[in-house]
Amino acid sequence: MRPAPTATEAAEGSQAVEHSSVSALCFLLYDICLTFEDEVDIFWPREWTFIKFDFFFLRYFPFLAQIPLLLVGSELTERFHFSRRGCFIWQVYEGVVPVLIIVACDLVFLARIHALYFGNNYIKGLLLFCFALEIIGICVGLGFALPGIHFNEICFVTDVSTGILFYGGAVIVFQTVLFVLTLYKYIEGVRAVPTVKLLMRDGTWAFFALFALIVLQAFLYSSKYHNFAAALYPWILTSYSVSGYRILLNINSLTRQSYDANTSGALASNDIEFHHSLDDDDELSIEIPTLPLSRRD
């Protein structure tokens, strides 16, 4: 086990985490406000189905989940007098929350790949297999990491078991598989299709943002600067949140434009149905059958 950080190092790390948490929370709130009009126009009129629930979960659960974390491992923690058991419960909370957000976001990513490959059964089987392995890897990593967590009197984490690498590794491998599949379909020759270009663009920035954050956090945990590693935690939650709901909003915005222009391919419901062919204009049709979207005046 590495030597525990000094009081000064722990204080510096705690302050960095506190500032990072506030910044990530403010950024997420800003992006929610920025896209609120699209949320109202696109998702509010719809009936409640899984996709609509997933959208609102990704949009608001990460924001709400991060608020109580401002009270843990910060200057405010001393006022609550948490016991060691209380601190451990908070660490379990911090371990479980990302799992819920990652799974919810991965379902959006899976639907994206499913659309690109027109519901190909082999790709579907591969995705489900990789998704199951990711969940297993995350759970194993969490199971190894939680018992080995060390924290100080304000619940600030001073050391983490290397089991956390299983957690991050599983996520990185799965995201890499999704990116490779997206890139292959883009290179294959359907890059001119607007929907494919959109999925490739959103998938690319989401992959590199999440990949960089997770790798950097793993590096910090394994280095002498591990007291700063937790500063990236809120940004991982925020990045997954923005990646997930932005993909859903962008796809709907594109297909709304197509609908208003009397072209094919309207994403107008929450029960995703993918058409397995390209039309005469080489337009990828991702249709969700229900009432058409209302046009803006």
User: Residues near 208 by Cβ (< 8 Å), separated by ≥ 6?
Assistant: none
Least confident of 23-27, 137-141, 203-207: 203-207
User: Assign residue 143 a region: left if phi > 0, alpha if psi is -120 to 50, beta otherwise?
Assistant: alpha
CA distance 238 to 72: 18
Structure tokens at 40: 């109202």
Query: Is residue 266 over pLDDT 80?
Result: no
Q: 56: part of which helix (H) or strand (E)?
A: helix 50-66
Residue 158, helix vs strand vs coil: strand
Structure tokens at 21: 């948490």
User: Which pLDDT belongs to residue 112?
Assistant: 84
User: Residues near 278 by Cβ (< 8 Å), separated by ≥ 6?
Assistant: 190, 193, 284, 285
Query: Is residue 275 over pLDDT 70?
Result: no
User: Which pLDDT belongs to residue 260?
Assistant: 52
Query: Is residue 198 over pLDDT 70?
Result: yes
User: Residues near 55 by Cβ (< 8 Å), separated by ≥ 6?
Assistant: 43, 244, 245, 248
User: Which pLDDT belongs to residue 258?
Assistant: 53
User: Which pLDDT belongs to residue 57?
Assistant: 98
In which band, very low, low, confident or very high, does the pLDDT at 273 lie, cut at 50, 70 and 90? very low
pLDDT tens, residue by residue, 128-157: 999 999 999 999 999 998 888 888 888 888
For the residues 247-270, what does the mean pLDDT come to? 59
Structure tokens at 22: 């506030």
Residue recorded with tokens 């924001």 = 63
Query: Which pTM value belongs to this model?
Result: 0.83
User: May I ask the CATH class of domain 7-245?
Assistant: mainly alpha
User: Which pLDDT belongs to residue 196?
Assistant: 73
Structure tokens at 101: 């957000």
User: Which pLDDT belongs to residue 219?
Assistant: 83
pLDDT tens, residue by residue, 39-58: 999 999 988 989 899 999 99
User: Which pLDDT belongs to residue 155?
Assistant: 87
User: Which pLDDT belongs to residue 182?
Assistant: 86
In which band, very low, low, confident or very high, does the pLDDT at 188 lie, cut at 50, 70 and 90? confident
User: Which pLDDT belongs to residue 74?
Assistant: 77
Residue 81 — φ and ψ, nearest 5°?
55, 55
In which band, very low, low, confident or very high, does the pLDDT at 190 lie, cut at 50, 70 and 90? low
Mean pLDDT of all residues belonging to the chain: 81
